[in-house]
């Protein structure tokens, strides 16, 4: 029997804002996973310019897809630690969205969608209701 204990989730119902943030995070994770599978498939069975680079890129995207998926599950379970990875994922998505918006191609709608999801997720994650549900106190709060 293991002596390690997993911290219990904060009691109370899960706010709708936190559920929405978890859903957006999961959406990003699934999208990264699908793109990673596509890139990996093309690297293994297609005719890429550089097979090793395509396979490495696909595997990297699959590993990166795990971060928002794990954070999403943590948000659904009201785990305090899950807010950090979820927020970092959104912050990292903003420069990617900006790059897609700068392209003169069909990637512009993808950049708009990514930016909208990232900003919406950040707003949901910094909301007071969500932080209280996760047991995160505001700076300077010394109450126990």
**How far, in Å, CA of 133 to CA of 19, rounded?**
11
Give the rounded percent of residues in the chain with a pLDDT score beyond 90. Answer: 69
Question: Is residue 46 a part of any domain in this protein?
Answer: yes
Residue 4's pLDDT is what?
A: 47
Question: Is residue 103 a part of any domain in this protein?
Answer: yes
Q: In the predicted model, what is the mean pLDDT of residues 130-134?
A: 90
| First and final C-alpha spacing in the chain | 32
Question: Is residue 57 a part of any domain in this protein?
Answer: yes
Which structural domain range is residue 38 located in? 16-133
**How far, in Å, CA of 116 to CA of 15, rounded?**
21
DSSP 8-state code for residue 48: -
Question: Is residue 9 a part of any domain in this protein?
Answer: no
Mean pLDDT estimate for the chain: 88
- Give me 55's structure tokens: 């396979």
| Residue 116 pLDDT greater than 90, yes or no | yes
Question: Is residue 68 a part of any domain in this protein?
Answer: yes
Residue 50's pLDDT is what?
A: 87
Question: Is residue 140 a part of any domain in this protein?
Answer: no
Bigger pLDDT: 113 vs 4: 113
Question: Is residue 63 a part of any domain in this protein?
Answer: yes
Give the number of domains in the chain.
1
Contacts of 69 (CB under 8 A, 6+ apart): 25, 26, 29, 30, 33
Question: Is residue 121 a part of any domain in this protein?
Answer: yes
| Residue 6 pLDDT greater than 60, yes or no | no
Residue pLDDT, tens place only, 9-36: 455 688 999 999 999 999 999 999 999 9
**How far, in Å, CA of 110 to CA of 51, rounded?**
25
Residue pLDDT, tens place only, 65-97: 999 999 999 999 999 999 999 999 999 999 999
């Amino acid at each position: 029997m293991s002596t390690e204990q997993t911290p219990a989730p904060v009691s109370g119902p899960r706010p709708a804002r936190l559920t929405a943030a978890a859903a957006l995070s999961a959406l990003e994770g699934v999208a990264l996973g699908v793109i990673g599978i596509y890139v990996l498939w093309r690297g293994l069975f297609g005719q890429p310019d550089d097979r090793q680079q395509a396979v490495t890129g696909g595997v990297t995207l699959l590993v990166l897809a795990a971060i928002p998926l794990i954070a999403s599950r943590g948000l659904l379970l009201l785990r305090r630690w899950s807010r950090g990875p979820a927020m970092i994922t959104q912050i990292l998505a903003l420069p990617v969205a900006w790059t897609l918006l700068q392209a003169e191609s069909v990637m512009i709608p993808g950049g708009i969608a990514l930016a909208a999801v990232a900003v919406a997720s950040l707003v949901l994650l910094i909301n007071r209701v969500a932080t209280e549900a996760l047991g995160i106190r505001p700076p300077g709060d010394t109450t126990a």
